[in-house]
Amino acid sequence: MPELPEVETIRRQLDALLVGRSVVGLRSTWSKSLTGRGVEPMDMLGRPVTGVWRRGKVLGLDLDGGVSLLVHLRMTGQLLLDPVDSDEASVEETSATRVVLDLDDGSRLVFNDHRKFGRMVVLPTAEVVADPLLARMGPEPLGPAFDVEALTVALRRHPGLRIKAALLDQGVVAGVGNIYADEALWQAGLHPERRCGALQRTGVVALHAGIVTVLSEGVARGGSTMRDYVDARGDRGGYLDVAAVYGRTGQPCRRCGTAVVKTTVGGRGTHFCPSCQRAPRKRRSTPA
């Protein structure tokens, strides 16, 4: 599932190629993949793209005249730009292709989504901030407002929640998913089952640094590819080549050599080093 680094990688590529281009045609083969909210998808036609932004795992295109397109890639969504006059193999439309946007220079933006959970939503730009998902999103972890205090405040709202589950909550920190949550906790030396309320300030400082470090590295390496993720050019991400724990069950910890363990926290597969990330001490008053 694409997380912040994957969506940011796509954003940067599209920002460089889409701004100034206009949508001149659109096709949708699955009605739920492209919908309008207050406006119709056809209202995109003829409006130049003025900006490409990201909030958490959500990608946004602003079009001239107050219309925006939100893209939620969810599980298996891919957003591919088929460039005009490319010598490289062009983007093939497949049985997973749900939406195609034709652009005025002859290029195409292709939305593939095998599992069909992804969504493209066209709406007035003025209503983007009130989008239910965006409105409750926590701070942007690579933005200036994300400091130790912001993370402290966010964690305090969930004192009984396990730290891994808190990181996956988009209301705590925007854009972190399963891969980078495990990586950030390893960086910080925190066991994924620690409760937010039990973290000391040194733990929050380490966690803040861990989140920023792994997401920055993820962006630098073009994101992570387990199965489906590719960037707008169709290339896989390289972060998992350097991941510390994610997908490395049984392999030696890069810090201490102890075998990486996989467990389940909050229903999600969770990787950690049992030596670097010590389990919380059991308290009789706390339910397991």
Interacting residues toward Zn ion by CB under 5 A: 253, 255-256, 258, 273, 275-276
Min. distance of Cβ 216 from Zn ion in angstroms? 21
Measured in Å, how far apart are the chain's first and last C-alpha atoms?
Answer: 29
Q: Which is nearer to Zn ion, 206 or 276 (CB)?
A: 276
Backbone angles phi, psi at 165, to 5 degrees: -65, -35
Residue 27 has a CB neighbour count (10 Å cut-off) of 13
Q: Which is nearer to Zn ion, 37 or 278 (CB)?
A: 278
Q: Which is nearer to Zn ion, 16 or 256 (CB)?
A: 256
Min. distance of Cβ 252 from Zn ion in angstroms? 8
Q: Which is nearer to Zn ion, 41 or 192 (CB)?
A: 192
| Sequence-separated (6 or more) residues with CB below 8 Å from residue 266 | 162, 164, 165, 168
Are the C-beta atoms of 67 and 49 separated by less than 8 Å?
A: no
Rounded CA-CA distance 274/118 in Å is: 36
According to DSSP, the residues that pair with 120 across neighbouring strands are 34, 71
Min. distance of Cβ 256 from Zn ion in angstroms? 3
Min. distance of Cβ 6 from Zn ion in angstroms? 26
Q: Which residues are catalytic?
A: 2-3, 57, 268
Q: Which is nearer to Zn ion, 50 or 275 (CB)?
A: 275
Name the closest residue to Zn ion (Cβ).
Answer: 253
3-class SS of residue 261: strand
Min. distance of Cβ 220 from Zn ion in angstroms? 23
The count of C-alpha atoms lying within 13 angstroms of the C-alpha of 85, restricted to the half-sphere facing its C-beta, is 1
Residue 203 has a CB neighbour count (10 Å cut-off) of 17
Min. distance of Cβ 116 from Zn ion in angstroms? 39
In terms of Cβ atoms closer than 10 Å to its own Cβ (0-12, 13-18, 19+), residue 262 is middle
Exposure string (b/e) for 263-285, b if CB count within 10 Å is 16 or more?
A: eebeeeebbbbeebbeeeeeeee
Return the structure tokens found at 93: 């439309």
Q: Which is nearer to Zn ion, 71 or 273 (CB)?
A: 273
Per the listing, tokens 């439309």 go with 93
